Every structure is written in structure tokens, then in C-alpha cells.
Amino acid sequence: MFSQHHSPITPAVAVLLLFACSFGCGNSPSVRVSTWGGTAKIDVATLGEYPTTITRIRLQNQQSHAVVWEVKALSGTPQIHGLILKKGVNPVSLAGVDAGTYAIVSPLNSKIFQLDSGVIYTLELWNSASGGPAKVSIQFAK
């Protein structure tokens, strides 16, 4: 015979799963930015150490809305831990890719892009499960 009593742990486990899912089940990738001097480190690692599937990255000038740099997944399951952006000249190719490949969308005919001090940039990152991008702002001091 089955008991009509429910375990008191069941509701707590359900709440915990919903809470955990709000951070890691689909939606936008988790993005952490740390800046020092003329460098911005963008960390997208899952649980702080595992690479994350990022399918598209776009960097825009927030004021003019001009796309400064954009890459998108080309093949495989592209996974990265993060990226480094620097004030001044940056390469268009994405370094530190753990798996998959990326295609350069913008700038098309250049091997570099320029980031200036005092300008606010919006960085958008998409993962394979997200409906929309994670967005963060980056500004290098003058």
C-alpha cells in the first residue's frame, strides 16, 4: 500500500532545481567582465571552469550603433572560456577557441579592429540555447 504522505524534501528539491535552472537552463550565457588598465577580460566559462558554447559575438559602439567586430559559429560546436579585448588594436580572429570554428562577419576586409578610450561598447554574446544575447557594456578609461 502506498502512503498518502509526501516527503517534505520534494518541494525543497523542486525549488532548488527551478533556481538552478534559472541560471543555467537555456537563456543567455553567463558573462563576467573584469577590467584593468586598457584590458577587459570577458569570462563566459560555465561554473567558472568549463568552456561555453558561444555561437555569435558582436561588439558595437553604443552611441553610433556601428558594429566594430562580429564573429559567428562556422562549424562544429564552438566553445570558449572567454576573450580579451584591449584598448587600441585587436585581432579580428578569436583566440582560445576550445572546439569548432568561427567566421568573421565584421570587419570583413581587415585583420584588426580598434577600440578607443572613452567610448562605450556593447558586447553581445549568443549561445545555442538562447533566444537573445547576453549584453554587457565595456568602456576603457581615458
Number of structural domains the chain divides into: 1
Task: Judge whether 107 lies within some domain.
Answer: yes
pLDDT over 70 percentage in the chain? 78
Write out the residue range of the structural domain in which residue 79 sits: 27-139
C-beta of residue 42 within 8 angstroms of C-beta of residue 136: yes
pLDDT for 49: 67
- Here the CATH number for the domain that contains residue 78 is 2.60.40
For 21-44, what is the mean pLDDT?
A: 76
Inter-residue contact 90 to 114 (CB < 8 Å): yes
Cell, residue 102 = 568561427
The pLDDT tens digits of the residues spanning 94-142 come to 888 888 889 999 999 999 999 999 999 999 999 877 678 999 999 998 8
Tell me how far apart the alpha carbons of residues 59 and 120 are, in angstroms, rounded to a whole number: 10
Positive or negative torsion for Cα 132, 26, 28, 110:
negative
Per DSSP, the three-state class of 18 is: helix
Domain contains 46: yes
Q: Which three cell numbers stand for residue 33?
A: 567582465
Q: What is the mean pLDDT of residues 62-68?
A: 97
H helix intervals, 1-142: 9-24
Task: Decide if 11 is inside a domain.
Answer: no
Domain assignment present for residue 15? The answer is no
47: in domain: yes
From first CA to last CA, the distance across the chain in angstroms is 74
Whether 6 maps to a domain, the answer reads: no
